[in-house]
């Protein structure tokens, strides 16, 4: 019979084995190529952000990080693919506020349960635009005009259920106005019709609108987040005229649920280091995306809050997928 002291030492050693094993796995990661899946076409701001992070991670961690574009179904194609992938850290997903909107709109992927948040990249700005010939100069002007003739104004968006669409529906809900939603297949055709006067109002991502704003082709009335944009410092927030209004998007990266905490923490540290790098910070801010740095726990809380916020808007506006 083994002495009691020896038994205790053996038991303590056995208890430590899982922790040692997990630590060894984290230290070995990555040992092969890592895919970063983007649910949008190449060239968009979120795709450029992903490529900046892939290049940084490759240089820091010594393995290839490749970006794979899987557009389709408002990013649901990419999300479902990653959600079904092994939870080993070798398939990651670039995520945005579109993902939390899709949870309620489509109901196909329970995003908060199936994707583990890793790190945020930046806070996205949307902007409320009107045609340059419009008599509307401010948000109160727009509200007054919309209330004077309900249903006369047309509100363009990049598509049903897009971030621009739900931002506009939240504005209608909180300002108590009625504007007719006109969905397009992307920002480009919507902006074209806004500039020609075919539609009068549009909520759009700032990066796709900003050059038209600077050129005087459209007029920016307000931005959707709670703070003004450094790119358009003279443009107020909607919340300055509609108390409590808070919109705007965000971007980040996640992994399949049940990915180990060690891998998630490693990637979070490295991505936050990238965000602190002046060159990467500058590139992201030039895309109209101010840095947003969070821990995985903080990111999870943001996702829960955003899911609840947009679910209320989608249900109120009775938005249905195409």
pLDDT in tens, 260-316: 999 999 999 999 999 999 999 998 887 777 899 999 999 999 999 999 999 999 999
Query: What pLDDT digit, counting tens, does each position of 26-47 carry?
Result: 569 999 999 999 998 888 888 9
Tell me what the mean pLDDT of segment 18-33 comes to: 65
Which residues neighbour 255 within 8 Å (Cβ) at sequence distance 6 or greater? Answer: 82, 87, 89, 91, 92, 93, 115, 116, 118, 263, 264, 267
**Residue 309 token pair:** 């916020």
pLDDT class for 9, splitting at 50, 70, 90?
A: very low
Summary mean pLDDT of the chain = 90
Give the residues across from 220 on adjacent strands.
Answer: 129
**Can 33-123+249-317 and 126-240 be said to share one CATH topology?**
yes
pLDDT for position 6: 42
Integer Rg of the chain from CA: 23
pLDDT for the residue numbered 230: 86
Beta bridge partners of 94: 253
Locate the domains of the chain by residue range.
33-123+249-317, 126-240
Q: Nearest to residue 126, comparing CAs of 166, 186, 95, 184? A: 166
pLDDT at 24: 45
59's tokens: 């240089």
Yes or no: domain 126-240 corresponds to CATH 3.40.190.10: yes
**How far apart are alpha carbons 204 and 195 in whole angstroms?**
13
Counting residues of the chain whose pLDDT is more than 90, the rounded percentage is 73
Count of Cβ atoms closer than 10 Å to residue 144 Cβ: 12
Taking residues 109-136, report their average pLDDT: 93
The string over 187-213, giving b where at least 16 C-beta atoms fall within 10 Å of a residue's C-beta and e elsewhere, is: beebbebbbeeebbbbbbbbbbbbebb
Domain spanning 33-123+249-317: which CATH class is it, in words?
alpha beta
Residue 238 is classified by DSSP as G
* Geometric angle at alpha carbon 52, from 46 and 56, rounded to 5°: 145
Give phi and psi for 255, each to the nearest 5.
Answer: -145, 165
In this prediction the pTM is 0.84
């Amino acid at each position: 019979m083994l002495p009691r002291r020896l038994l205790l030492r053996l038991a303590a050693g056995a208890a430590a084995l899982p922790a040692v094993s997990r630590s060894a796995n984290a230290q070995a990661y990555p040992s092969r190529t890592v895919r970063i899946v983007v649910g949008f076409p190449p060239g968009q701001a979120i795709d450029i952000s992903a490529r900046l992070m892939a290049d940084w991670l490759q240089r820091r961690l010594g393995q290839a990080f490749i970006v794979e574009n899987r557009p389709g179904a408002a990013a649901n194609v990419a999300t479902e693919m990653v959600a079904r992938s092994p939870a080993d850290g070798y398939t990651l997903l670039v995520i945005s506020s579109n993902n939390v909107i899709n949870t309620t709109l489509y109901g196909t992927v329970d995003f908060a349960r199936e994707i583990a948040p890793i790190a945020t990249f930046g806070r996205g700005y949307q902007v409320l635009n009107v045609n340059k010939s419009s008599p509307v100069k401010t948000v109160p002007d727009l509200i007054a005009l919309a209330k004077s003739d309900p249903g006369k104004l047309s509100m363009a968006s990049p598509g049903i259920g897009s971030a621009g669409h739900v931002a506009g529906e939240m504005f209608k809900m909180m300002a108590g106005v009625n504007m007719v939603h006109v969905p397009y297949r992307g920002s480009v055709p919507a902006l074209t019709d806004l500039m020609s006067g075919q539609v009068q109002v549009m909520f759009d991502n700032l990066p796709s609108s900003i050059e038209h704003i600077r050129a005087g082709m459209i007029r920016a009335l307000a931005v959707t987040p709670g703070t003004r944009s450094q790119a358009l410092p003279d443009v107020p927030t909607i919340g300055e005229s509609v108390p409590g209004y808070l919109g705007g998007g965000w971007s980040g990266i996640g992994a399949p649920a049940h990915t180990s905490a060690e891998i998630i923490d490693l990637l979070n540290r490295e991505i936050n280091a990238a965000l602190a790098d002046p060159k990467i910070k500058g590139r992201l801010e030039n895309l109209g995306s101010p840095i947003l740095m969070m821990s995985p726990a903080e990111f999870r809380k943001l996702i829960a809050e955003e899911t609840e916020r947009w679910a209320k808007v989608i249900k109120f506006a009775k938005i249905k997928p195409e």
